[in-house]
Every structure is written in C-alpha cells, then in structure tokens.
Amino acid sequence: VTISVAKSGGNATSGLQYGAMEEEINHCGEGGLYAELIRNRAFQGSTKFPSSLDAWTAVGGSSLSLKNLTDPLSTALPTSVNVKGTGTAGLTNAGFWGIDVRPQKYTGSFYVKGSYKGSFTAALQSASGKVLASTKVTSKSVANEWVQHSFTLTPSKKASSSNNTFSLTFDGSKASGGSLDFNLISLFPPTWNDRPNGMRKELMQAMADLGPKFLRFPGGNNLEGDTIEGRWKWNETIGPLKDRPGRATTWQYGETGGMGLVEYMEWCDDLGMEPILAVWAGLALNGDLVPEADLDFYVQDALNEIEFLTGSVDTKYGALRAKIGHPDPWTIRYVEIGNEDNLNRGLSSYKSYRFPAFYKAITEKYPEIQVLASTIDMTIPGTAGGDYHLYDIPDNFITKFDMFDSYSPEHPILLGEIAATETNNGVGIDWSNTYFSLYPWWIGSVAEAVFLLGAERNADKIIGTTYAPFLMNLDSYQWSPTILSFNSNPDETARSTSFHVYSLFNHNHMTNTLPATSPDAFGPLYYATGLDNKTNSHIFKAAVYNSTADVPVSLTFDGIGRGTNADLTILTAPDAFSMNEVGGSNIVKSKTTTIKAGKKGEFSFSLPNLSVAVLSTK
Ligand code: AHR
C-alpha cells in the first residue's frame, strides 16, 4: 500500500482523543477504584436493596442485629448494627471479596454509641484466623451520643493472599447493657496522591499509564436510575460521609455515595482529565418521564450542579463547595444531557422538550459550555453535539470505519461508550448478553482500533472516544468485557488487549490530521495520519484486519526527507482470541524499531495481519 501524506489541509483535533467513562457498575467504584476496603460499611439500604448484614459476621458468641434507632448517626445513615455479647464481642467484615494486606499504613474509623469503659481491638486476619495486624483503640464511647474513633493498622508482612478479613471487637462485659451500636466502619489503604477518601493506587496507576484525556461520568444507566426518584442525585454525594445516604444503582447493588461528585472531580485533577459531566435529563430506565410542565426543577438542579462545580464562592452553590473544602472552582467545558435518550421510549420527549430545555438553560447561563445530546439519533440543534455508543461484533466495527466521513463538524460527537463485546457471528450483537466475552480479546481490540482510526481521521468532528464499561471487579460484575479487570489483589489487575491499543494511540497524540492519498482502498490496512505540532512529529496510525498476508507499506510525508528517523511500534498477539486475564500475564507483544526514510523520503515496512501500529517521526 502506497500512502502519501500532505503537508497541510487537515483539521485540528479536539485534544481529547482518548478518555475514560465511569459509572457505578461492576463494583468499579465500590470495591474498585474507591479504595474503601469495608463492604456495607454503613448498612445503607433502599427499597431495591434493603439494609442488610451483607459481608458482616459476628465474632465468637456475639450477635448482630440491625437497628433503626430513634437517635441515628445521621438522617442519611439511619441504620446501625447492635453488637451484643458477654465476652469478646464484635463483628468481622469480608471486604470486597477479600482484603489486600501488605506492609503499609491502613487508616480506619468507626462510630459507636453506648457506655463502654474499655478498649476496642481493630485487626486484620487471614482466612485461617492468623492475626496480620492489630491495634487497641481506647474507648471514648458514651451512652447517648455517636462518637467517632480512629485508628491505624500497619501489618509487618504481606499476606500470602488477599483472602483476609477485618474485625472490630470489644469486651462485652464492660459495655453497659452488654451491647454497643456501630456505624460507618471504614478502612482505607494508602490512596493515590494520599487523598483521604481516595482512590485505589494500582488502578489509578493503570489509568495514569493509559493517559485518558477526559472522564465521562457518572453514567451510563446509573445516572438515569431505575425510577425518577432513584436517579443519581449529585447533592447526595457531597460533604461528610455520614451525610451521604447512598442509593440503589441500576446494576444489582447499592452504592455508598463515597465516590461522589467531588471525588470524580479530584480524580480528573489527579490524572489531568477533562470532565465530561452528564446531568440527569428527565428519563428513568423504567421509561418514566418528567412531563414538560414539571421539568424546570430538574433543569434548575443541573444548573445548581454546574454552579456547585464552577461558581465563585459568592454564589449559593459555589459557597457550598467552599464550605466542604473546595474554595477554588473547577472548569466544566462539556455537559451531556442524560444518557442514551434514544432508548426507553425517551426519544420523542427528548427531541421535543427535554433536550431543548436543558440546552437553552445551560447555554444561556454558560455559553462557553459545549452541550452534548446523549444520542445522535436526532437533529441536533444549534451548537450542541451528540454522543454515540457502539457495542458490537468485530466485523461491524470495520464496516463503521468511514461512518464519520459524512458528519458535520458543527455538531461534534463524543464516542462515549465503545467496545467489541462478542465474537463474529455474521449477524451482530446479541443483547441477551449470553455471548459477551469476559475480557477484550485480540481480534476485537484490532477491530476497535480500526473504528478508532475512522474517528481519528475525522478528529475535527469527534471530541474523543472511550471504552465502556471501564472497570470490572471479577468477584462481582454485571457487564463484561471492560478495559481493566481486577479483584481484591492489586497484583492481579489485568490491562486488557484493548488497553494496549488505546494506550498506544493515546500516547501518540495528533494535534492535527493531515490528509493522505493512496491508489489503494482501505482494507485490510486502515490508517489515520497527522501531526503533533508540539514536537513536529509526523504520525501514522494503522491496523490490519482480515488480511491473508503481511501488508507492505510505503509511506511518505510531504516535507519529510531522506534519512529521517521514525519509531515504528507494532502490537501483535499470539492469536485472534488471545486475551489478558486477571492474574495472568500480558499476551500483547509490543515491538518498537527505528526505521529511516529512503531516497524519496519513504518509510518502508510491513504489518502483519491482526496488528495495530504507530509510526512517528523523530
Ligand atoms: O456500559 C454499560 C451500559 O451500556 C451503560 O450503562 C449504558 O449507557 C449502555 O447501555
């Protein structure tokens, strides 16, 4: 294939090309990125998932019972556990299917109510009962008040597995009435950037290595909620943890609210990601819609949320942000209205009154914000953009390579959820979910690469792309595949085959596309060409899908002469169905060579079938 790349005539890219998407699904936050180690720490319940003792067991002969006391810890956390026992009494937590124990400082706290003159013991132990770390906490507990206690635990050794538990015990004979009430029992390992209430380090490290440029949050279906009342409410995810009630996610478990709006923004700060904030848009997953006459409240709520994030401390919600510790406003440049409003009978109301109302209110108050519709299945008004999601078989990613060639840059598109989910079957995706792959697999990742190249070629029209869902706790998940998978053992995190593709493309960022011409049609070689004008590096990104032989390439960049060096990185895998699994090793082979431009400035190389490659001049 002969390719000639012009010197000019392309378009500036958004600068955001590859990002991340997060909603509470697959225990990606709770039991994942959110570093809290205690599962069901505050016995939070909802109609869908009533309060329970899930993850807790009684120590020795003590007994546990849930109580809704007349003087609860807070209105947000009305349920607590009463622990009753005569000798050593207490409770043990199984963590998010295990607790990783290694020589580092764990920071814990709990609230307790009841007269008790003695001490508590906080400990980590193995499945066989071996104590891995233990500390005594002198009681400050009194009869009619909730008193918070703090402690640290520093194990001296790494445990042989993450099959460990946490326990909190006391001497029941010294507790007045033989029992005490507990709530909000929390334990954190060291977090990324040492943030209190922060994020799990190795997952953040994986994300940092991937280098996402934006974060779309907080959903996804989980933003929408099963019902209108069950929607994700930003104002219930901020402030002290004891004031966050939590809620039922749309994904078969409850969330604590610990990873809330501020934590999302701090995550963006920590990884240098542009926030793409999705606001609730009047449609719940069960199809319930807010009628036009009642929509103002929700539009105002979205404006309040934006003010909370971006307003000066002189504004009502900016002052609230300052009060909870963030005087400096954040910047929000993108707001998406809802999620997949083309589904669940939502499209006609979305077109007729829901989207227009949010769009008008937000652009009037914040003209600098790029508002995005949650679909492209409609005529997008004014300067708004849209969001397109694609879950499909690999072959269908290839047929969509040129999908954006005919789009207009006036309405930029976010590719907010993209993943090859099941193997080629000649038809397409089966939404019964039965055949979804557990992990991304190589041919699927190569097919995604082809689609991403189609987006990069049209980078003036595409804001950026993100895989979805992003993370999965293998011990409890609802949707596979994901770009990262993990369990309670940080050493076993799997960076998927798609992770390696996104990472390669992301770390070779084009600021401008450059038009290419070729006598050969696209396929089996697909590519995008451009420039990083910060380094003046000329870039060629490619993928080979369904080729019967290696594809020879002769590539020239106008203005790049004989003898110029370029790095050529080629990703391959042992076979089309190879995947990276939790606890396994990386099967993606990455080979970088330096090649020199020939007499006519041509770079000559060949790419094998099912490969993904980047060439960048030096
Ligand atoms: O990514 C999983 C789900 O897929 C999202 O919640 C939803 O937006 C989409 O249908």
- Could you tell me the residue ranges of all domains in the chain? 2-12+511-617, 56-188, 201-384
- What are 106-120's pLDDT values in tens digits? 999 999 999 999 999
Q: What is the pLDDT of residue 306?
A: 99
Confidence band, pLDDT 50/70/90 cuts, at residue 97: very high
Q: What integer is the mean pLDDT of 350-373? A: 98
- What are 534-549's pLDDT values in tens digits? 999 999 999 999 999 9
Task: Indicate whether 431 pLDDT > 90.
Answer: no
State the sign of the Cα–Cα–Cα–Cα dihedral 463, 468, 469, 471.
negative
Cβ distance 366 to 307 under 8 Å? no
Cβ distance 420 to 480 under 8 Å? no
Task: Indicate whether 208 pLDDT > 80.
Answer: yes
Q: How many angstroms separate the CA atoms of 358 and 380, rounded?
A: 13
Q: How many angstroms separate the CA atoms of 369 and 39, rounded?
A: 38
- What are 256-273's pLDDT values in tens digits? 999 999 999 999 999 999
Helix intervals (H) in 400-533:
442-457, 497-506
- What are 268-309's pLDDT values in tens digits? 999 999 999 999 999 999 999 999 999 999 999 999 999 999
> CATH number for the 56-188 domain, one of 2.60.120.260, 3.40.50.300, 3.30.830.10, 3.30.230.10?
2.60.120.260
Confidence band, pLDDT 50/70/90 cuts, at residue 430: confident
What number of helices (H) and strands (E) belong to the chain? 10, 33
Q: How many angstroms separate the CA atoms of 117 and 10, rounded?
A: 74
CB contact burial 366-377 (16+ within 10 A = b; e otherwise): beebbbbbbbbb
Q: How many angstroms separate the CA atoms of 470 and 22, rounded?
A: 6
Using the mean position of ligand 1's atoms as its centre, give its distance from the Cα of residue 600 in Å.
Answer: 49
Q: What is the pLDDT of residue 249?
A: 98
Closest atom of ligand 1 to CA, residue 251: 6
Confidence band, pLDDT 50/70/90 cuts, at residue 433: confident
Kindly compute the dihedral angle of the four CA atoms of residues 229, 232, 235, 236, in this order, to the nearest 10 degrees: 80
Q: What integer is the mean pLDDT of 490-503? A: 98
Confidence band, pLDDT 50/70/90 cuts, at residue 432: confident
With pLDDT > 90 as the criterion, what percentage of the chain qualifies?
A: 98
Full DSSP string of 167-199: EEEEEGGGBGGGEEEEEEEEEE--BGGG-TT-B
Cis peptide upstream of residue 394 (ω within 30 degrees of 0): no
Using the mean position of ligand 1's atoms as its centre, give its distance from the Cα of residue 565 in Å.
Answer: 43
Full DSSP string of 474-507: TTS-SS---SEEE-S-GGG-EE-HHHHHHHHHHT
Nearest CA to ligand 1 atom 1: 469
Nearest CA to ligand 1 atom 2: 469
Give whole-number Cα distances, 508 to 108, 145, 550, in Å: 42, 57, 23
Question: What is the SS3 string spanning 302-322?
Answer: HHHHHHHHHCCCCCHHHHHHH
CA-atom Rg of the chain in angstroms: 26
Nearest CA to ligand 1 atom 7: 220
Confidence band, pLDDT 50/70/90 cuts, at residue 464: very high
Using the mean position of ligand 1's atoms as its centre, give its distance from the Cα of residue 389 in Å.
Answer: 8
Q: Which residues are CB-neighbours of 83 under 8 A, at least 6 positions away?
A: 58, 62, 63, 64, 89, 90, 91, 170, 172, 179, 180, 181, 182
Whether 419 is in the pocket of ligand 1, judged by its Cβ within 6 Å, is no
Q: What integer is the mean pLDDT of 83-96? A: 97
Nearest CA to ligand 1 atom 9: 220
Whether 417 is in the pocket of ligand 1, judged by its Cβ within 6 Å, is yes
CA-based nearest residue to 1, from 524, 568, 483, 529: 524
Whether 305 is in the pocket of ligand 1, judged by its Cβ within 6 Å, is no
Whether 225 is in the pocket of ligand 1, judged by its Cβ within 6 Å, is no
Using the mean position of ligand 1's atoms as its centre, give its distance from the Cα of residue 523 in Å.
Answer: 30
Closest atom of ligand 1 to CA, residue 419: 1
**What is the CATH architecture assignment of 201-384?**
Alpha-Beta Barrel (3.20)
Whether 250 is in the pocket of ligand 1, judged by its Cβ within 6 Å, is no
Closest atom of ligand 1 to CA, residue 479: 2
Mutation to probe ligand 1, out of 249, 251, 344, 389 (largest number of atoms < 8 A from CB): 389
Confidence band, pLDDT 50/70/90 cuts, at residue 434: confident
Using the mean position of ligand 1's atoms as its centre, give its distance from the Cα of residue 178 in Å.
Answer: 48
Using the mean position of ligand 1's atoms as its centre, give its distance from the Cα of residue 221 in Å.
Answer: 6
Q: What is the pLDDT of residue 241?
A: 98
Nearest CA to ligand 1 atom 4: 220
Q: What integer is the mean pLDDT of 228-247? A: 98
State the sign of the Cα–Cα–Cα–Cα dihedral 321, 201, 244, 122.
negative
Using the mean position of ligand 1's atoms as its centre, give its distance from the Cα of residue 392 in Å.
Answer: 13
Closest atom of ligand 1 to CA, residue 417: 1
Confidence (pTM): 0.97
CB atoms within 10 A of CB 383: 13
Q: What integer is the mean pLDDT of 18-36? A: 98
- What are 529-586's pLDDT values in tens digits? 999 999 999 999 999 999 999 999 999 999 999 999 999 999 999 999 999 999 999 9
DSSP state for residue 400 in the 8-state scheme: T
Using the mean position of ligand 1's atoms as its centre, give its distance from the Cα of residue 216 in Å.
Answer: 12
Cβ distance 413 to 388 under 8 Å? yes
CB contact burial 110-146 (16+ within 10 A = b; e otherwise): bbbbbebeeebbbbbbbeeeeebbebebebebeeeeb
**What is the CATH architecture assignment of 2-12+511-617?**
Sandwich (2.60)
Closest atom of ligand 1 to CA, residue 343: 10
Task: Indicate whether 345 pLDDT > 90.
Answer: no
Using the mean position of ligand 1's atoms as its centre, give its distance from the Cα of residue 416 in Å.
Answer: 10
Whether 448 is in the pocket of ligand 1, judged by its Cβ within 6 Å, is no
